């Protein structure tokens, strides 16, 4: 008798499971239930069709039900929603949303790939005619239709995550004025604040209005048919279209009602073989709980890459191949206008939420290399931040820049998967030619910096630590050239150019801590070595130099409404 497998959900994990199952078992009866009208669509590409970058809508539809039938002999039933599971009888109840009929379907093995749904908070006035979420092809179609019909001059995107920022770019590309409202003090929570500031600056340069650290209090409709967004700060915005991109929640109600084990967030608990608490039911994708590669803790990471891999592993196990899904590390990338931001592993906020303390349990290094050899045309700067513990284990990495960003994060992500340390980053032999990299790749450079920190060659200090510095017992030393300091320097800093330092050591107090900075950190490193070998005991390099500092200090809030310059000693920018 052939195996009968019913799959709930036809996108990402579900479609991947079905295709792999057929490759492994030609005789299996495979039925895929999808409550919507489309399967296997490229949901990550939806914003780019709205903005016109992807011109052909059909390019987003990777496989149709007919394609799956002809190529894989899979029975795909769209508009068919599984509404309950009878685990004892091994039967699912199905509602056909086209005909209105209901029926039952038996299974030998059941796979849950229900995905997730945009979170809609209980805000007064939410759900008005100008408000949209973006998660499916019909969502995309509704947004495009609204834009064509109403031609909105302004848009507000609520939420600064992946989808929110991608929609910001694509709405702006259509000539619409765009504002972001984000309850937290930064966009892209996968980045630390200092790295997110580079994104804030870039968004501001594209005339995106940022309302950070501010939430929505209510929505209402104006007499002109616009949506008024009242913020908790008391500010008010009007928009012809509002995109809600606040986050997602797992579609786990089926699992909960079937009394499968779930976590407090509704995530379906699975083992390494992706089996649920019922050995005949598997689960994959956004709705499952996973182990984090770095922390070892249970978490939820709703990304397409892991979902597709889980589908393959799930099919293997159904067919008797003992594959395991061991962990996720949250590697992600996004394009925002001209720049790319990418990250993998944990960031500082996550580490500190786990009780890990900066400089005691982990360190960070920040470098600003060029995307390739500086003498070859088109070499753009990037910012690369790597976090590591006191034994050198890589905990996470983030990068922002114009080109070559995702390449470096992917190298580090792969290194982390194989338990590499920062010492291993120094040894990586990466491809080099002037148009593509430098002889010392940015990944190598981050490794060198981290190695120097752990080996006691040169310690560093991050910008966010500066407010806690005892300025009465500290000297801030700027070793840039006089021409560079004209553009600004840290309040109270002493200016001694690097090339003059050896002759002017007597101007510095060896009993005080010396915090050294230059443009990006390299000349400051050289200065630290000079000082440490001339009797100065407390010397640290400002991570990322003035490039990071001058980006970290400003408040990139909308200047028309909010003007709150950060002012504290010794960390405000003073024009030369």
Active site residues: 44
What is the rounded (10 degree) CA torsion for 171, 173, 174, 176?
A: 60
Q: Which helix (H) or strand (E) holds 212?
A: strand 209-212
Instruction: Report the phi/psi class of residue 456: left, alpha or beta, with left for phi > 0 and alpha for psi in -120 to 50.
Output: left
The C-alpha atoms of residue 431 and residue 428 are separated, in whole angstroms, by 10
| Sequence-distant (≥ 6) Cβ neighbours of residue 473 within 8 angstroms | 512, 513
Q: Which helix (H) or strand (E) holds 401?
A: strand 394-401
Question: What are the tokens at 195?
Answer: 């790295």
Confirm if 180 and 526 have CB atoms less than 8 A apart.
no
Long-range contacts from 81-88, C-beta under 8 angstroms, 24+ separation:
81/33, 81/35, 82/6, 82/8, 82/33, 82/35, 82/254, 83/254, 84/254, 84/257, 84/258, 85/110, 85/254, 85/257, 85/258, 85/281, 87/258, 87/259, 87/278, 87/280, 87/281
β 248-250/154-158 pair status: unpaired
Q: Which helix (H) or strand (E) holds 121?
A: none
Instruction: Please give the span between the terminal C-alpha atoms of the chain, in angstroms, as a whole number.
Output: 82
- Nearest in space to 114 (alpha carbons), one of 277, 267, 217: 267
Count of CB atoms situated within 10 Å of the CB of 391: 9
- Order of strands, sheet of 332-336, starting from the edge strand that comes earlier in the sequence: 332-336, 339-345, 394-401, 382-389, 362-367
Q: Return phi, psi of residue 46, to 5°.
A: -60, -45
> What three-state secondary structure class fits 279?
coil
β 131-132/241-244 pair status: parallel
One-letter-per-residue 3-state SS of 134-166: CCCHHHHHHHHHHHHHHCCCEEEEECCCHHHHH
Q: Return phi, psi of residue 20, to 5°.
A: -65, -40
Confirm if 394 and 416 have CB atoms less than 8 A apart.
yes
| b/e 335-344 (16+ beta carbons within 10 angstroms → b) | bbbebbbbbb
- Order of strands, sheet of 91-96, starting from the edge strand that comes earlier in the sequence: 80-86, 91-96, 102-106
């Amino acid at each position: 008798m052939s195996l009968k497998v019913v799959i709930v959900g036809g996108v990402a994990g579900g479609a991947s499971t079905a295709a792999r199952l057929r490759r492994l078992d030609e005789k299996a009866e495979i039925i895929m239930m999808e409550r919507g009208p489309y399967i296997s669509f490229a949901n990550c590409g939806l914003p780019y069709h709205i903005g016109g970058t992807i011109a052909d809508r059909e390019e987003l539809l990777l496989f149709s039900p007919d394609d799956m039938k002809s190529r894989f002999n899979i029975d795909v039933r769209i508009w068919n929603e599984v509404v309950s599971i009878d685990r004892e009888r091994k039967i699912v109840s199905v509602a056909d949303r086209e005909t209105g009929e209901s029926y039952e379907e038996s299974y030998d093995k059941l796979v849950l790939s229900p995905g997730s749904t945009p979170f809609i908070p209980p805000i007064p006035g939410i759900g008005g005619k100008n408000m949209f979420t973006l998660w499916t092809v019909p969502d995309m179609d509704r947004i495009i239709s609204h834009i064509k019909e109403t031609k909105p001059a302004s848009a507000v995107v609520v939420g600064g995550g992946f989808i929110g920022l991608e929609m910001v770019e694509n709405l702006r590309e259509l000539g619409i004025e765009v504002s972001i409202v984000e309850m937290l003090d930064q966009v892209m929570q996968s980045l630390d604040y200092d790295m997110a500031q580079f994104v804030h600056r870039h968004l501001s340069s594209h005339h995106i209005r940022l309302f950070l650290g501010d939430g929505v209090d209510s929505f209402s409709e104006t007499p002109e048919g616009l949506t008024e967004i009242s913020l908790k700060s008391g500010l008010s915005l009007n928009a012809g279209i509002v995109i809600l991109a606040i986050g997602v929640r797992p579609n786990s109600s089926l699992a909960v009602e079937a009394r499968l084990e779930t976590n407090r967030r509704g995530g379906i608990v699975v083992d390494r073989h992706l089996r649920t608490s019922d050995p005949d039911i598997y689960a994959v994708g956004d709705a499952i709980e996973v182990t984090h590669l770095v922390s070892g803790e249970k978490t939820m990471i709703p990304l397409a890459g892991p979902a597709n891999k889980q589908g393959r592993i799930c099919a293997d196990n159904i067919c008797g191949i003992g594959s395991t899904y061991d962990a996720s590390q949250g590697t992600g990338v996004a394009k925002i206008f001209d720049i790319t931001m990418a990250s993998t592993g944990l960031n500082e906020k996550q580490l500190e939420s786990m009780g890990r303390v900066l400089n005691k349990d982990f360190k960070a290094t920040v470098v600003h290399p060029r995307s390739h050899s500086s003498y070859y045309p088109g070499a753009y700067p990037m910012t690369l931040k790597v976090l590591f513990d006191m034994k050198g284990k890589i905990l996470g990495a983030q990068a922002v820049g114009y080109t070559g960003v995702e390449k470096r994060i992917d190298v580090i992500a792969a290194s982390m998967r194989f338990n590499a340390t920062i010492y291993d980053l120094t040894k990586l032999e990466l491809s080099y030619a002037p148009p593509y990299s430098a002889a010392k790749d940015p990944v190598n450079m981050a490794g060198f910096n981290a190695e120097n920190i752990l080996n006691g060659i040169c310690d560093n200090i991050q910008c966010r630590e500066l407010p806690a510095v005892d300025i009465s017992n500290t000297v801030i030393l700027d070793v840039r050239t006089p021409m560079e300091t004209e553009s600004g320097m840290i309040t109270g800093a002493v200016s001694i150019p690097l090339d003059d330092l050896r002759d002017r050591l007597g101007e510095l107090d060896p009993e005080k801590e010396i915090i050294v900075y230059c443009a990006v950190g390299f000349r400051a490193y050289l200065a630290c070595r000079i000082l440490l070998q001339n009797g100065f005991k407390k010397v640290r390099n400002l991570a990322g130099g003035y490039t990071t500092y001058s980006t970290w200090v400003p408040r990139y809030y909308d200047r028309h409404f909010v003007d709150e310059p950060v002012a504290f000693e010794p960390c405000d920018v003073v024009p030369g």
